[in-house]
Amino acid sequence: MSEEFEPRVIAFCCQYCAYSAADMAGSMRLQYPSNVEIVLIPCTGRFDVILALKAFEAGADGVYVAGCLVGNCHFLDGNIRAQQRVDYLQKELKNIGIEPERLAMYNLSASQGPRFAEIVNEFSEIISRLGPSPIKKNLAA
């Protein structure tokens, strides 16, 4: 079962960094798991906990937010605020018995295409280890 499991991951990517990095990873023909679904956001400051919650409700196994390096946000502190929201939601997920590791925040720059591929691999690995989301299991049932 665990070998067949292909995690479904939703990545909220800032257009100024992670989204461009994903583009670069593509141009560089870098390999990374195809089960990550990228959602473009204008800044990680746009990320809201409800977006991640809706993704989990719809059956995502993992959600991550990828924003600019600390200090490099185009809108000054959008990435810091996103980090706060991620931290907050991780606690809420833990409170209802869902592994907080299913939600993560990463920081990278637009020039880090290889790092983008690395993050996708790293996060997919974490989610694969955790197994399917307990919500999804029951959604399918």
Q: Does position 34 bind other proteins by CB under 8 A?
A: no
**How many CA within 13 A on the CB side of residue 66?**
31
Q: Does position 140 bind other proteins by CB under 8 A?
A: no
Q: Does position 76 bind other proteins by CB under 8 A?
A: no
Among 28, 50, 69, 76, binds other proteins (CB under 8 A): 50
Gap between the Cα atoms of 120 and 115, Å rounded: 9
Least Å from the CB of residue 136 to other proteins: 9
Ranges within 87-116 binding other proteins (CB under 8 A):
92-93, 95-98
- With H, G, I as helix, E, B as strand and everything else as coil, classify residue 51: helix
Task: Enumerate residues 6+ apart whose C-beta is below 8 A from 66.
Answer: 11, 12, 13, 14, 17, 18, 21, 44, 105, 106, 107, 108, 116, 119
Q: Which is nearer to other proteins, 1 or 96 (CB)?
A: 96
Query: Rule CB under 8 A: which residues touch other proteins?
Result: 48-50, 53-54, 56-57, 92-93, 95-98, 134-135, 137-139, 141
